[in-house]
Structure 1
């Protein structure tokens, strides 16, 4: 199948996730194009879409959300998987409870434009300079940690599950 993996990234963490998803789908025999949502002028011509964005303030980046809105007619009736890259792995202490609220908040903003087969929230990279001096101090004070929290095994397993679903779709279409 012809798959578009599109992403909106703020500091590069999401492009890493998108690239890994695309690589796994290729190993399962799919033709995969990987682009930033800012590079895509027309998303037509694909059988399947995997779209992701970095998350800021419990919402996708404006460019990611705008892509879904702009391409909603193209995406309608097609299998669409969504992924978000946020903070869950960086949170501990009282903030850990907040992480469970992030995914429903993210999806609430996106469901007007697309009904995904599935959405997955992954942890990304969190650096002090991303939050600014004050934000960094507050983040640490409430139990946040800095580092690369991407779980490559979980990302690859999810991409493998997408590939298995696509195999089922291909079988049904025959």
Structure 2
């Protein structure tokens, strides 16, 4: 089975909990999954067969620690399977705005995805609490008709993690078969 490094940047623990859940699902499938918060304490990229990178999204961008990690390791990340995920507040928006936000491209995140060219970049909704927003943000949040709450789709997160595990298992099967030929 594969060793998977899962790194994340989180401000209010929602992204951290999603990263831990992904790690748990991969571990259940027999993969070695290490979940680490960014920035990493040691220089360089720890050894792993695959990498999953996630970050909370603030103002249309990943948190600085995740952004810096991707930029610093983009060349090395291209040598192995990589998946990326962003955690934002799309599900907290009212219907029409939610649909618009779900389709909108966030240029700063798209540039990071372009640097790494992951197998997939998935967007998840996280948790939005009153204390997470500054005064101006809270006023705008209310004016837009947004809702506070936990909007994480655990079934969707689990399914994504299981899909990563299956893809890694298929990759391992192909590697073993090519070694036998």
Map Cα deviations across residues 23-66 of structure 1 (whole Å, 9 max, x no partner). Answer: 00000101111101212532141100000000011111111011
For 2:105 and 2:84, locate their aligned partners in 1 and report how far apart those are by CA, in whole Å.
11
Map Cα deviations across residues 121-140 of structure 1 (whole Å, 9 max, x no partner). Answer: 00001112211122112111
Name whichever of 38-47 and 4-13 sits farther off. Answer: 38-47
Partner of 2:156: 154
- Which of 54, 57, 60 is the equivalent residue of 2:56? 54
Task: Give the unaligned 5+ runs of structure 2.
Answer: 177-181
Where do residues 76-87 of structure 1 align in structure 2 (5 Å cutoff)? 76-87=78-89
Q: How many residue pairs get matched?
A: 174
- The RMSD of aligned alpha carbons is 1.5
Where do residues 10-159 of structure 1 align in structure 2 (5 Å cutoff)? 10-40=11-41, 41-105=43-107, 107-159=109-161
SS of corresponding position for 1:39: coil
Distance 1:149 1:85, change over 3 A: same
Partner of 2:169: 167
Q: Which has the larger radius of gyration?
A: 2
Q: Are the counterparts in 1 of residues 62 and 109 from structure 2 also a CA contact under 8 Å?
A: no
SS of corresponding position for 1:160: helix
For 1:53 and 1:64, locate their aligned partners in 2 and report how far apart those are by CA, in whole Å.
6
Name whichever of 67-76 and 24-33 sits farther off. Answer: 67-76
SS of corresponding position for 2:115: coil
Task: Give the unaligned 5+ runs of structure 1.
Answer: none
Deviation at 1:73, TM superposition (A): 2.4
SS of corresponding position for 2:34: strand
Distance 1:82 1:103, change over 3 A: farther
Q: Are the counterparts in 2 of residues 17 and 155 from structure 1 also a CA contact under 8 Å?
A: yes
Deviation at 1:71, TM superposition (A): 1.1
Q: Are the counterparts in 2 of residues 22 and 34 from structure 1 also a CA contact under 8 Å?
A: yes
Q: Are the counterparts in 1 of residues 61 and 106 from structure 2 also a CA contact under 8 Å?
A: no
